[in-house]
Amino acid sequence: MATVTTANGQQVSYVDHGGDGPAVVLLHSYLMDVTMWSPQVEAFGDRYRLIAIDERGHGDTPVTAPFDHWDVARDTLAVLDALEVPRAAVIGTSQGGFVALRMALLAPERITALALLGTSGEPEDEQVAAAYDQLAEVWIAQGPETVIEAVAKICLGDYDPSEWTPKWSAVEPDRLRLIMSALVSREGVLDRVGEIEVPALVLHGTADLAYPVAKAEALVAALPQAEPLVLVDGGAHFLSLTHAAEVNPHLARFLDKTL
């Protein structure tokens, strides 16, 4: 892992997988880290310069104060600055998609294409947000083992969670509260994504337990250069990991076409 310290003192960890092809930023889901992208690195890492970011409060990137996904978008742009990468495509799953959309709104001249998986441009539903907040407090008060099976089901569906649950169990209470707050309190950007003029690919699993397909349909309708929605049959919420075999051909085709 390498690190960058931003102008406001935030340390950001990342992995630059190298390569001579066009740059592609990889932005992971909630509770995940850069290793989530191993299937994509294996599938097309030889054709692109894949740069995976540990988002604020995840993996090796610390968090000490409240933040939002605009902050994470700026963190990611700071990594590109440090690597002297002027423009890049961005692939984001779930939370990573929130960040990708904000990057394209903050610095449209630097984003070449967007691939968005299992994500939404809308704020979190109030009832869902309250339930997630309660889940986090039960996690902290009674221990992660009380809720981690439910979390794994929402995020990963039937995918084996054993690689991830030890990492989740190790998340400190203060960090958990901060990253959960950023997730559930985000504002919507659906009314602004019409400003994003780059090619976009939206993929969504039909078995996504966090966001219904309607969230993806709304995103496709709002993005001016979105391709038709790609539905992955049986795909879970974190489908770039859980259904990589189905997702990767679509991502590779899209990147080959647009970069």
Q: Which helix (H) or strand (E) holds 4?
A: strand 2-5
Inside any domain, residue 136? no
pLDDT digits (tens, 9 = 90+) for 32-46: 999 999 999 999 999
Burial class for 244, CB neighbours closer than 10 Å (0-12, 13-18, 19+): middle
Contact 93, 26 (CB under 8 A): no
48 Cβ contact list (under 8 Å, min separation 6) = 19, 21, 22, 23, 24, 255, 259
Is 137 a member of any domain? no
Is there a domain that residue 156 lies in? no
In one letter, which amino acid is 56? R
In this structure, how many other beta carbons lie within 10 angstroms of the beta carbon of residue 110?
A: 16
Q: Residue 172 falls within a domain, yes or no?
A: no
- Structural domain including 221 reads 2-124+187-258
CA nearest to 40, candidates 1, 83, 113, 93: 93
CATH of the domain at 74: 3.40.50.1820
Query: 236 with 207: CB under 8 angstroms?
Result: yes
Sequential pLDDT tens for the chain (259 residues)? 999 999 999 999 999 999 889 999 999 999 999 999 999 999 999 999 999 999 999 999 999 999 999 999 999 999 999 999 999 999 999 999 999 999 999 999 999 999 999 999 999 999 999 999 999 999 999 999 999 999 999 999 999 999 999 999 999 999 999 999 999 999 999 999 999 999 999 999 999 999 999 999 999 999 999 999 999 999 999 999 999 999 999 999 999 999 9
154 found inside a domain: no
Please choose, from the candidates 147, 139, 174, 162, the residue with its C-alpha nearest in 3D space to the C-alpha of residue 65.
Answer: 174
In a domain, residue 66? The reply is yes
Residue 146 inside a domain? The answer is no
What is the domain count for the chain?
1
Helix (H) or strand (E) holding 252, with range, is helix 244-258
**Cα separation of 132 and 113, whole Å?**
31
